Structure 1
Amino acid sequence: MSEDTVTPEAAAAPRAAESPHEHRHTYVFAIGQIRARFRDPGVEKEFTQVVGATDTKGLTTDEVLRMVLTRPENRYLARQMQYVLVIQGVDTYDVVPSYSDDYDKLIEALRPAPTPLDLDVVVGVRDPLAAADSCAGHPLPVLEFHQLYSFDRPSLFKAIKKPEGMSAKRFRAICDEVLTKILQITENAGATPEDRAANFVACRYEAVYLKTFEAFTGDYALTSIDVRPAAVGGDQGVMSFTVTYTSRATDLTEKYSVLVSTEYMNPYLLTRLGPSL
């Protein structure tokens, strides 16, 4: 993962006015955990019957779930399950694939041994008209995904180049602080331009982590992460992602920003991280 691998696209032409009957796409770039639910009691009963005819001795509940859904003969059952993206402990989206073959990606996201460190990134379009009931009976917005990939925090941190001379323990601690602050941005459901820009940077742009390593070496603390529409282009989805570091000795602050375009489904960098004016 490197800042040099991101190639900014050309700026978009102005949008034409929409008719009252048209609905603009609501793009989503969300980070959470995919969890499987039974969409209705009939699906749950069918699953129970399948499990009863399967050798599950010694397996955990999560291992049984994944084993049953990955078998080709149970593909019909996998398509009837509900896949919920849980963000900060809250059922947030009913996730459905754009193509039927992509059910494989949903099933692969179900870990046989899930942990709080698991992360699933879902990029797609939220249906403004459709909603599905969660297992608690509350309607969830439907998120049709076009991209879904899974990893855990250690895997993400391995993709970042560790500075020479820094211990692995210190390296992981700093990475964890940066990622946690981004994910804890208030009500980050990955649906606003600000949320999408923040989540994109967290997963795709290692320069923010490297700058934080540098700041900590100079006895600066990471005091805030702010994402807001840019002064130029903000009305077209250009977001300014700004990190603020404060000297522990003098209270002086330094700010660094990067511009991210969120106009399309896939966000991308417009600038590299640099001092904020």
Structure 2
Amino acid sequence: MNDQVTEKNLSAGVEEACPVSGGIMPEMEAAQPLMMPEVSPNLGKMPQTNHPYAGVAKQYIYAIGQIRPQFPTESVKREVTRLSSSLRGVTPDDNVLFSVLSQARNAALAREICWVLQIDGCVDSYILQARSPIELTEIIGYTEADYPKKRKHVLVIGVRGPVASPKMCNDLQLPILFCNQVTPFTEEDFVQYVSGKTKVDEKIVAATFSQLLAFTDNAGNTDVHRAINYVILKYDAVYKMAKAMLQDSNNPYTLAKVWGRPANAQGNRSIVEIIFTYEDRYLGDEAHWYCRVDVSDQFPFLVTPLARFYPGP
């Protein structure tokens, strides 16, 4: 590959990191919490003491997936059915659950439902535990139907807790994920946002996003997986690089592999290197780029922007 062309493309702005914020996109951060009835200030919060996770080193989760509701008991299911009956024929069937649970008077019922985080749309991975009405509002908001239909995802950041007891969620025994941040988003909105910010064609952004999710399908529970998921959603230079490599004036390169490893120099922080391998479509030659991400705490952040990576012998 012509390194001169690629370095030139990189200098056009690839090294700029995407600003880290509370959500995926600024315009998606204005979701308002439910107007909650008067309840105990400790409702839904993980106790500060005597908790099964207290005193144990925290395992942070940074996961991308989908949410599905599951009724923990027959009584909860019947209550939702009763409340839904008056909406049948008035509200589209795929929006009835949202219409019921988004009402403030049904907040307690919404807390009773088991909210399951799925990875890759089919693998049940965690039972979500909202820490406050804010996270619960976002979880309920995920169930709202889009017209026309859009591909939904959610970013969940939090702490892994113990495995749920059989009684908690109708025999579904999964790790509990105490949510500190829940950010639903659609693939279409994310692609439009990144494309508008980076000036990369939407088709390239969409293809790169899909490739990254397929290559890195994970539960967001290891340092490497958390770093990769962070880069996918928060570091838009990845999409600039995809464009630069694809539009190389000599030979187009496409993303072939994404992997990670602990950085050699750690100090007292946990640093992960994320390596991107691109392959020449015609000759099969490979080019490698990498960045470093600090995953020491709950919220990862970029340490070193994209640069050339040269594999050892």
Q: What is the distance in 1 between the residues matched to 2:80 and 2:270?
A: 44
Residue aligning to 1:91: 124
User: Partner letter of residue 108 of structure 2?
Assistant: Y
Specify the alignment match of 2:106 in structure 1: 74
TM-score (norm 1): 0.83
Is the 1:220–1:247 contact (alpha carbons within 8 Å) kept by the matching residues of 2? yes
Report deviation, 1:62. 2.5
Q: How does 1:154-193 map to 2 (within 5 A)?
A: 154-161=188-195, 171-185=201-215, 188-193=218-223
Q: Which runs of 5+ in 2 are unaligned?
A: 1-15, 22-53
Please say if residues 6 and 269 of structure 1, whose CA atoms lie closer than 8 Å, have aligned partners that are also in contact.
Answer: no
Q: Report how far residue 136 of structure 1 moved.
A: 7.0
1:48 pairs with 2:81: yes
Q: CA deviation at 1:4?
A: 5.6
> Match of 2:76, SS?
helix
Deviation of the 1:101 alpha carbon: 4.4
Q: 2:71–2:170: 8 Å Cα contact kept in structure 1?
A: no
Q: Do residues 142 (structure 1) and 176 (structure 2) align?
A: yes
TM-score by length of 2: 0.74
Aligned to 2:33: none
Q: Which residue of 1 aligns with 2:238?
A: 208
Paired with 2:175 and 2:267, the residues of 1 have a C-alpha distance of 26
- Quick one: which amino acid aligns to residue 209 of structure 2? L
2:288 to 252, 255, 259: 255
Q: Greater CA deviation, 69-78 or 185-194?
A: 185-194
Instruction: Report the CA distance shift for 1:184/1:211 in structure 2 as closer, same or farther (over 3 A).
Output: same
RMSD across aligned positions (CA): 2.5
How far is 1:29 from its partner?
0.5
8 Å CA contact 1:118–1:153 kept in 2: the answer is: yes
Q: Does residue 1:36 correspond to 2:66, yes or no?
A: no
Q: In 2, Cα distance between the equivalents of 1:104 and 1:4?
A: 26
**Contact 1:132 / 1:141 at 8 angstroms: preserved in 2?**
no
How far apart are the structure 2 equivalents of 1:6 and 1:258?
A: 16
Shift of 1:181: 2.8
Deviations 1:168-223 (A, max 9, x none): xxx33322332223223465001111111111011101101110111111211211
Instruction: Show the counterpart of 2:17.
Output: 3
1:32-73: per-residue Cα shift (whole Å, max 9, x none)?
A: 111211111111011122223x23314333211000001122
For 1:22 and 1:55, the matched residues in 2 are separated by: 47
**Contact 1:132–1:142 under 8 Å retained in 2:** no
Q: Which residue is 1:10 aligned to?
A: none
Q: Using the alignment, how far apart are the partners of 1:132 and 1:273 within structure 2?
A: 44
Change (3 A) 1:42 1:217: same
More divergent stretch after superposition (109-118 vs 55-64): 109-118
Unaligned runs of 5+ in 1: 8-20
AA matched with 1:269:
L
2:257 alignment partner AA: S
Distance 1:132 1:204 in 2: 35
Q: What SS does structure 2 have at the residue aligned with 1:190?
A: coil
Secondary structure at 1:5 match in 2: coil
Query: Could you say what secondary structure the match of 1:159 adopts?
Result: helix
* Aligned 8 A contact 2:257 2:276 in 1: yes
Tell me the distance in 2 between the aligned counterparts of 1:249 and 1:264. 42
